Amino acid sequence: MQEANFPRLLIPVVERQPDRLAVIGAYDGGYRATYAEHLDRVLRLKAAFGRELSLAKDDRFAVLAGNSHRYLELWHAALFGAGVINPLNPRLAAAELEFILRDSRTRVIFADSEHAPVAERLRSTTGIEKVVLLDDGDLPHDMRYEDLLSAHAPAAADEPDEDDVVVLMYTGGTTGTPKGVLLQQRAQVSTIYHMDFMYRYFSHDDVCLLNTPMFHVAGCLGTMGTPAAGNVALIQRSFDPASTIAAVEEHEVTLLGLVPTMLSMLLTHPDFTPEKFRTVRGVAYGGSPMPEALIRRVLEVFPGAELFQVYGMTEMAAVLTCLRTADHRGERARSAGRALPGVRVEVRDPESGRPVPRGGVGEVVARSGSAMLGYWERPEETGRAFRDGWYRTGDMGYLDDDGYLFLTDRLKDMIISGGENVYSTEVENVLASHPAVQQVAVIGVPSEAWGEAVHAVVVVRDGHEVTEEELIGHARERLAGYKVPKSVELRTEPLPMSAALKVLKRELREEYRAREKSTRK
């Protein structure tokens, strides 16, 4: 029985409430579409994929754009079996985008006016055959999105198989290059079921603000869960505190999904007042832990709202655990919450793979119907990611007696800065390419603005001179902005090493904390 596919969720909503408002665009004059109109456009797009773009359901297509109703339609077209969506992070450097497009063998890219010039430049160095312009800008393209829709009658609303791959989403690579995560229908739909079953997150009269990037796995719950529940999706092109505050008040938003940095920016903005957020009944956040002071402020400002922290990763289609409102006080406020229904989370010894007793620190592992199929064309890395059917998160932590997960460190040395994942190895590889760098280690350090900031510790090669600014500029030319170090520490003595000749990053973090503590005295 094929229940875990997105059309099985959306089509009944359209049949039940065809004239209900489904989408509002908080941009370009305020686009609006009912559920019937939205599905009609999705099915026209699906027809165009096969007839005009010559894409089959297992062909990849890329999207390089800000949030919009057209981006939402592209997501849903993929979930209706039109193709495999490859959402690109516009903040990546051109070299990173080029690698992803070549690695995925993507032939068609959809781009808005802001990003169409980049898409056109990438055509000559990748396998891109067609650039589809999403809006009305006067820029190089092969065809326009609206022309595609108007030229085709709606395709049949067939239900795809649960095992069909619908998403190829690239994550930063611990080896220095991104990896493509293959997600099936089952994985995407399971996440919706898991969240709604435990927390009843969705009702049928909510207005959900979608301003987390649609290229990010964190946005999937909004792009799929909101329409599946029959709610209104209010789409912002991107996050901006002033426009978000205005949109929440004007459209009486009830559900927000943000990272802690965004929440902090909202609450400290001059336009913010609690009265403007009086309709908000739920605030979900993730990407990084929320500072205790910010938790207290959020609970004070939204006394009647539910507060959810979610923890997960792209490889598990976003969400593994959730921390509810009642747990945002006391010791449990430091935790990542408990596993969602349908998800199992354990802590195991990273070497032997055996379970660790409650309270003992080990590697966090998980199994769920939302798990990825694997990494695109990387069977060895896929094999290392799973052990006996359990996904190895690379995060270190422990479970208390009530099953609350506390994260203590990261095996993969991943830094979470402003909700974005930064793999230290990727940044280290770039800095190491500078001729003046002898050794380099990249760590995350506390930041009030970003949760964590990227900090590089560099040993300068004998006979060379280099400045902090020069190294930051070197990285900026080769990496996305959020991956570029916010600070660089220059050294002449070697970095601390283990017996296995690995840099002891824990010691570097402790040195940084001790130095900062001494400075504040």
| Integer Cα distance of 49 and 54 in angstroms | 6
Helix (H, G, I), strand (E, B) or coil at 62: strand
Distance of CA 112 to the CA centre of its chain: 20
Among residues of the chain, what percentage have pLDDT more than 90?
Answer: 65
This prediction has a pTM of 0.85
| Cβ(207)–Cβ(251) below 8 Å | yes
User: What single-letter DSSP state applies at residue 497?
Assistant: B
Mean pLDDT over residues 369-382, rounded? Answer: 96
What does the pLDDT look like over 154-181, one tens digit per residue? Answer: 999 999 999 999 999 998 754 457 899 9
DSSP 155-178: PP-PPPPTT-EEEEEEE--TTSS-
What does the pLDDT look like over 300-310, one tens digit per residue? Answer: 888 888 888 99
What per-residue confidence (pLDDT) applies to 271?
A: 97
Residue 218 pLDDT exceeds 90: no
Report the candidate in 321, 249, 334, 250 with the shortest Cα–Cα distance to residue 289. Answer: 334
- Inter-residue long-range contacts of 515-519, CB under 8 Å, 24+ positions, other chains counted: 516/445, 516/446
User: What single-letter DSSP state applies at residue 45?
Assistant: H
Mean pLDDT over residues 404-410, rounded? Answer: 84
What does the pLDDT look like over 477-515, one tens digit per residue? Answer: 999 999 999 999 999 998 887 644 568 888 898 898 888
| Cβ(286)–Cβ(307) below 8 Å | no
| Integer Cα distance of 397 and 360 in angstroms | 8
Report the candidate in 482, 483, 432, 499 with the shortest Cα–Cα distance to residue 459. Answer: 432
Find all residues with CB under 8 Å of 205, minimum gap 6, and list them.
231, 254
| Integer Cα distance of 234 and 227 in angstroms | 11
Residue 3 pLDDT exceeds 60: yes
| Integer Cα distance of 201 and 192 in angstroms | 10
Residue 329 pLDDT exceeds 80: yes
Mean pLDDT over residues 384-392, rounded? Answer: 96
Mean pLDDT over residues 14-27, rounded? Answer: 95
What per-residue confidence (pLDDT) applies to 223?
A: 94
| Integer Cα distance of 159 and 149 in angstroms | 21
Mean pLDDT over residues 314-322, rounded? Answer: 93
Mean pLDDT over residues 453-473, rounded? Answer: 94
What per-residue confidence (pLDDT) applies to 421?
A: 77
| Integer Cα distance of 41 and 65 in angstroms | 19
Backbone angles phi, psi at 56, to 5 degrees: -95, 175
DSSP 397-421: EEE-TT--EEEEEETT-EEEETTEE
Specify the pairing of strand 344-348 against strand 362-367: antiparallel
Task: Report all structural domains of the chain as residue ranges with CATH numbers, in order of start.
Answer: 6-193 (3.40.50.12780), 330-410 (2.30.38.10), 414-520 (3.30.300.30)
Mean pLDDT over residues 359-368, rounded? Answer: 95
